[in-house]
Structure 1
Amino acid sequence: MDLYELDRYLEHLLSVSKFKDYCPNGIQVEGKSEITTIVSGVTASQALLDRAVSLKADAVLVHHGYFWRGEPYVVRGMKKKRLATLLKHDMSLLAYHLPLDAHPTLGNNAQLAQRLGFQVEGVMDERELQGVGNIGVLAQPMTLTEFALRVASALQREPTLVSGGSHLIKRIAWCTGGAQSYIDRAAELGVDAYLSGEISEQTTHSARELGIHYIGAGHHATECYGIQALGEHLAEQFGLKHLFVDLDNPA
């Protein structure tokens, strides 16, 4: 498949143009024009690039790519090594950040909902959050402890918990990755609990004072599934070979 044909398809599929993001979405590093094998992963780390080289990938597909807002412009050290690996092996890097978070079926939030058994009702905030977070319900109410066991089983890691009271969890809001600051918006929506990837010092106080349970399920852990689903979709749609590489990350 032609690289730029793939880029155009993904731009349309993920509605890239509607997002104001912190980084460029799409082709970040251009490699060979013909794509037959794609390696996907959460972050374009050196370890992922090295695995992609060993797997003879033509392109690397990630959620967290390069060239973030505020990032130093100079190319040296870690950045030089990463870019050198891509250029030496003529591998393209394609990255999709907020557009992948928000996609209604392939996105990180949608895929996490499937694994945790949430019924999606809508988005947390179409304007401020650009639709990247969701609200929904559980099939049956659970205590915070019961819900934590479900999360641990599904994501294979123990979540960080902050109790906001003794109430059961029925309605829930969630936003994968580093979205802990949206707990205030979740409380405004009247949900029983808010789940995200990371926790900050102030998140604990917000949860307790707002009376909302908080579950920090891991930035990496909550964002493994969107990029994997996207790679599988491309493989099915275009007959490409796709390999997802999961590199453990405790964050």
Structure 2
Amino acid sequence: MAVALSALVEEADRYLNAARIQDYCPNGLQVEGRPQVQRIVSGVTASQALLDAAAEVEADVVLVHHGYFWKSEDPCVVGMKRRRLKTLLVHDMSLLAYHLPLDVHAEVGNNVQLARQLDLIVEGPLEPENPRNVALVGSLAEPMAARDFARRVQNVLLREPLLIEGDTPIQRVAWCTGGAQGYIDQAIAAGVDLYLTGEASEQTFHSARENGVSFIAAGHHATERYGVQALGDYLARRFALEHLFIDCPNPI
């Protein structure tokens, strides 16, 4: 069964309420392909490897979290950007990308989906008054040692995390997928035992260590694999389409 590309995009935009969030890139349809859709390939980033894999399975739409046309990006279509766009255009594939709207969504969002993977109980946003703060705060059902929780993260994400171990067992947790190490100070102010994100900066170590809080950097890519899969599954169910998630491993 096929569906019009316009209907698919309209539903994704509506479901994620994409227009309400001011972002660093355009959300929604970034590159237009064939007008009818039967097969969606999803992935974290619209890299050349993902595009080649999508073309190999004859995808109609490539659905990603990290697309193109970032505010700080060179607009010239040369080099890597030219090769990527050429692949999409030659194979008549659409590129559908959602950044912050996918992070914050209450059902398929990256942070909610990661919580489900790690058995974290969601309480709500870390900063409820800030619409662009996508971090969440919650808890574990039972306290556990930081090293044991880090082992859980490794077993689920299949990637050894960076752990800075704090002074107390872990129960109250804040987290934000991707490159959100800058939220550690808000997490500390909220009284958490551990803050988890994808990446770390030099100053993250000092913030965690000097405040006695545990910190885990579990990988930008690794923590953001689940939202786009959930969105792809939702769209596939909604329109009776084929959906295939393709993971292109990234150690960062």
Shift of 1:146: 0.8
- Residue 111 of structure 1 corresponds to which residue in structure 2? 113
Distance 2:112 2:82 in 1: 35
- Residue 208 of structure 1 corresponds to which residue in structure 2? 209
Shift of 1:129: 5.6
Letter in 2 for 1:179: A
Q: Secondary structure at the match of 2:65?
A: strand
RMSD of equivalent CA atoms: 1.0
- Residue 53 of structure 2 corresponds to which residue in structure 1? 51
Distance 1:10 1:236 in 2: 12
Distance 1:60 1:26 in 2: 11
Distance 1:24 1:238 in 2: 24
Shift of 1:6: 1.1
Distance 1:123 1:139 in 2: 18
- Which deviates further from its counterpart, 123-132 or 182-191? 123-132
TM-score scaled by structure 1? 0.97
- The correspondence for 1:96, drawn from 76, 80, 98, is 98
- Residue 27 of structure 1 corresponds to which residue in structure 2? 29
- Residue 155 of structure 1 corresponds to which residue in structure 2? 157
Distance 1:247 1:59 in 2: 17
In structure 1, stretches of 5+ residues that fail to align are none
Q: Secondary structure at the match of 2:41?
A: strand
Distance 1:68 1:129 in 2: 20
- Residue 122 of structure 1 corresponds to which residue in structure 2? 124
Distance 2:128 2:139 in 1: 19
Distance 1:35 1:213 in 2: 45
Letter in 2 for 1:240: L
Q: Is this contact kept in 1: 2:39–2:243, CA < 8 A?
A: yes
Distance 2:107 2:68 in 1: 25
Shift of 1:131: 4.6
TM-score scaled by structure 2? 0.97
Letter in 1 for 2:203: Q
Shift in alpha-carbon separation, 1:212–1:237, aligned structure 2, 3 A = same
- Residue 184 of structure 1 corresponds to which residue in structure 2? 185
- Residue 13 of structure 1 corresponds to which residue in structure 2? 15
- Residue 174 of structure 1 corresponds to which residue in structure 2? 175
Distance 1:229 1:114 in 2: 12
- Residue 234 of structure 1 corresponds to which residue in structure 2? 235
Q: Is this contact kept in 2: 1:42–1:62, CA < 8 A?
A: yes
Letter in 1 for 2:214: H
Shift in alpha-carbon separation, 1:129–1:203, aligned structure 2, 3 A = farther
1:132-187 C-alpha deviation (Å, 9 max, x unpaired): 1110010100111111111111111111011232x011100000000001000101
4+ residue runs over 4 A deviation: none
Distance 1:109 1:43 in 2: 17
Distance 2:67 2:201 in 1: 23
In structure 2, stretches of 5+ residues that fail to align are none
Residues matched between the structures, number = 250
Q: Secondary structure at the match of 1:226?
A: helix
